[in-house]
Structure 1
Amino acid sequence: MARILLAEDDDSLREFLAKALRRAGHWVEAAPDGSEAEAKLDGNVFDLLLADVVMPGLDGIELARRASARDPELKVLFITGFAAVALRQRDGLPGAPRVLSKPFHLRDLVAEVDSILAA
């Protein structure tokens, strides 16, 4: 079981993703934006940051930079409808975070999360 921090601004998608990851056996802490996700980093240890790239306020790229500065071992997976943007902006993040493009099937998300955690 991994500890996953999920940052997604779409309420229904966030709930849907969290539920799927919990069913797959993971512990999930969900946040509606990058700022709230960053606050959840205080006093908590996560194995994976799963973040939407485009969110109001603190976006997923900057959230990943800040989270990785706190914990260089933290693995990152971006979800986005704007994969080309995410691929360009993830430069400089440790571990070359992967990007899962929307729309995706939940089994693909769970498989990608499991692959990242196993690496």
Structure 2
Amino acid sequence: MRTYIERALINAGYEVESVDRGTEAVPLLEQDDFDLLLSDIVMPEMDGIELAQRCAEVSPRTKVMFITGFAAVSLRASREQPHAKVLSKPFHLRDLVLEVERAFEDRREASL
């Protein structure tokens, strides 16, 4: 699924760094400024919520969007990361790209 999401976002004109676990994402977040962290919530080694918390420490301006297939996990994400968008599976890749576009529109409007 990560490959399809990566391809859809690249085709929509976004630069994408893709990794398969949160522990691989942390060094990237520490090295570069990212506009958006898009993460599944359930992952090996470090879940998406823990990754988002780490992201807030090292890159507080980075917006967070979660993907999940579990309703209970979605509720936890909403509670622990209230500003993060949660996109529930299944979804169409077109819907994902629209949500990413909305996230950047919100940022542009906030800076005006």
TM-score (structure 2 length as normaliser): 0.88
State the Cα deviation string for residues 7-49 of structure 1 (Å, max 9, x = none). xxxxxx1111000000000000000001001121121110000
Aligned equivalent of 2:94, options 99, 107, 116: 107
* Counterpart for residue 24 of structure 1: 12
Aligned equivalent of 2:83, options 96, 106, 112: 96
Paired residue secondary structure (2:16): strand
Paired residue secondary structure (2:17): strand
* Counterpart for residue 116 of structure 1: 103
Q: Where does the alignment leave 5 or more consecutive residues of structure 2 unmatched?
A: 107-112
Cα shift at 1:82: 1.1
Greater strand proportion: 1
Identity of aligned residues (%): 51
Higher alpha-carbon Rg:
2
Q: Does 1:74 align with 2:62?
A: yes
TM-score (structure 1 length as normaliser): 0.83
* Counterpart for residue 47 of structure 1: 35
* Counterpart for residue 110 of structure 2: none
The more displaced of 54-63 and 82-91 is 82-91
Matches within 5 A, 1:8-23: 13-23=1-11
- Residue type of the partner of 2:3? E
Cα shift at 1:90: 4.0
Q: Where does the alignment leave 5 or more consecutive residues of structure 1 unmatched?
A: 1-12
Residues 30, 59 of structure 1: alpha-carbon distance in 2 compared, 3 angstrom cutoff: same
State the Cα deviation string for residues 62-85 of structure 1 (Å, max 9, x = none). 000000111221100000101332
Aligned equivalent of 2:21, options 21, 33, 39: 33
Pairwise CA RMSD of aligned residues? 1.3
Greater helix proportion: 2
